[in-house]
Amino acid sequence: MSIENTIAFLGPIGTYSDEAARAFADRLGMEEPEYLECSSFDEVFDYVDRGRCAYGVVAKENALEGPVTATLDNFAFRSSAVILAEQVIDIHHCLVTNPEARLADITTIASHGQGLAQCRRYINEELPGRTALTTSSTAESAKLAAENIHVAGIANAFAAEIYGARVYEADIEDHFGNQTIFALIGRPGATLPPTNTFGDAAKYKTSLCLFLQADRAGALNMILSEFAYAGINLTMIQSRPTKQQLGDYMFYIEFKGSVNDLNVQTALNCLRLKLREVKVIGSYPVD
């Protein structure tokens, strides 16, 4: 197995993370990629940090749920991995069943907690009174449904195909337009292969973790002022506790632009003079 062709993702096979990993492999131009299943995003980061794989795939932000805190915390506190690219995956939930099951046979609705929550209206209207079973992933619910005529899963069509379940009804989510941004991560210094298809070279996004010297009035305003003065358009800002003491926070920030841009370099250099740490966790091409 060539490490250059390995991608770690949150398993099991058939998850949205798996779908994202395969999309990344295609856009990287990989031939015969090797996919490594992990039990958590922490493990994906560990695989990358320890050199067990060339790339990892982690969820970064969901249109309904917001930033994925487990991912942000790994970037901020645990890992040296950097973001190399992004992939947006449309989240379309399906009701999946055993190929022989009828709706009247279903006594249990199984899925990941988010899958159940995001399809609550459909469940209440079409399958009232059924028992809800929370699984570790949407893919696991597709496997359970394929094996049991009395269980229906909420998963994507990809998982249904893999495990031999039937898509009884597609697009059952309460809110259309649900999407998740997945990040392709690698070790510091890693680059995308020349065969990649990620975005225009002139269009970049940069992600930072910013740590304050001390909690004081106007600290956030000071940070925002440096970006505003440099004409940098922020696309996300999220505060996270530093896990050192109550009320002590750091900031995760994303903006349009590359660390090679002169205005970005000026803003970052000014922030380095005022903050305890400016951690660049990726400057990468976007579509």
Active site residue 182: yes
Domain boundaries, position 31: 3-89+178-186
| Res. 210: pLDDT tops 90 | yes
Lowest mean pLDDT among 115-119, 204-208, 243-247, 275-279: 243-247
Identify whether 191 is part of a domain: no
Amino acid sitting at position 267 = A
Whether pTM exceeds 0.85? yes
Tell me, yes or no, whether 15 and 157 share the same domain.
no
Write out pLDDT tens, residues 99-112: 999 999 999 999 99
- When pLDDT is cut at 50, 70 and 90, the band that residue 243 belongs to is confident
Catalytic residue among 45, 180, 198, 227: 180
Residue 239 falls inside a structural domain: yes
247-260 tens-digit pLDDT: 778 999 999 999 99
180 is catalytic: yes
Question: Where among 158, 186, 214 does a domain terminate?
Answer: 186
Give yes or no: residues 37 and 108 share one domain: no
Q: Is the pLDDT of residue 2 over 90?
A: no
Buried b (16+ CB within 10 A) or exposed e, 245-271: eeeeebbbbbbebbeebeebeebbebb
193 inside domain = no
CATH of the domain at 117: 3.40.190.10
Percentage of the chain lying above the pLDDT 70 cut: 99
Active-site residue (options: 9, 41, 158, 182) = 182
For the stretch 52-63, what's the b/e string if a residue is b when 16 or more beta carbons lie within 10 angstroms of its beta carbon?
A: ebbbbbbbbbbe
Count of domains in the chain? 3
As a whole number, the mean pLDDT across the chain is 92
196 domain-assigned:
no
CB within 8 Å of 12: residues ≥ 6 apart:
18, 37, 137, 139, 140, 143
Q: Is the pLDDT of residue 229 over 90?
A: yes
* pLDDT tens readout for residues 270-282: 999 999 999 999 9
pLDDT category of residue 1 using cuts at 50, 70 and 90:
low
- Residue-wise pLDDT for 48-78, tens only, equals 999 999 999 999 998 888 889 999 999 999 9
Is 76 a domain residue? yes
